[in-house]
């Protein structure tokens, strides 16, 4: 059992590292000056306000997914589940993140913000298609999380 607990704690550390880059989205109330506005932005849309809104919504989705994974891992310390169930729970959390990002992407007026949402969603989908998709110990999503953080002005 001690090995299972150490593994779960290791998983929590990885989830915290993955969520770290987007945690900065909460630090600033406005996107940074000079954030790209893109040619696709409507002249009647306040791109900065739109970015703030869609970034906050996307951040909520991403954080909820990773916090949910961490909660699941914590619960499994005292009540272990079969590998298949663990994988199902992780896949469910990833799917929720992808669905939320895909819902926010078309609402983003800034193409950089929209692209960062789409890229992260695609990276998660690719990860789920991989043979080791549920192996949380590889932080392959970090660059996409950092790109989303940057696009959101943090």
Distance between CA 131 and CA 69 in Å, rounded? Answer: 19
Q: Using alpha carbons only, how large is the chain's radius of gyration in Å?
A: 17
Give pLDDT tens digits for 113-143: 999 999 999 999 988 887 666 665 557 788 9
In contact, 152 and 59? CB cutoff 8 Å: yes
CA dihedral 129, 77, 20, 108 (to 10 degrees): 50
Q: Is 31 helix (H, G, I), strand (E, B) or coil?
A: coil
Q: Which residue has tokens 């695609």?
A: 122
Residue range 12-65, pLDDT digits in tens: 444 444 545 554 444 344 444 444 444 455 567 799 999 999 999 999 999 999
Percentage helix, strand, coil for the chain under 3-state DSSP, each rounded to 5: 70, 0, 30
Query: What count of Cα atoms within 13 Å lies in the side-chain half-sphere of residue 133?
Result: 20
């Amino acid at each position: 059992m001690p090995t299972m607990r150490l593994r779960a704690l290791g998983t929590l550390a990885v989830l915290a590292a993955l969520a770290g880059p987007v945690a900065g989205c909460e630090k600033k109330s406005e996107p940074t000056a000079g954030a790209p506005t893109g040619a696709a932005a409507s002249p009647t849309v306040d791109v900065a306000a739109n970015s703030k809104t869609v970034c906050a919504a996307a951040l909520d989705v991403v954080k909820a997914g990773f916090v949910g994974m961490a909660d699941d891992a914590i619960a499994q310390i005292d009540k272990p589940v079969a590998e298949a169930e663990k994988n199902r729970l992780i896949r469910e959390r990833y799917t929720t993140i992808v669905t939320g990002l895909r819902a926010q992407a078309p609402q983003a007026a800034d193409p950089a913000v929209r692209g960062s949402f789409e890229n992260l969603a695609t990276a998660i989908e690719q990860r789920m298609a991989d043979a080791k998709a549920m192996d949380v110990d590889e932080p392959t999503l970090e660059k996409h999380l950092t790109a989303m953080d940057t696009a959101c002005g943090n």
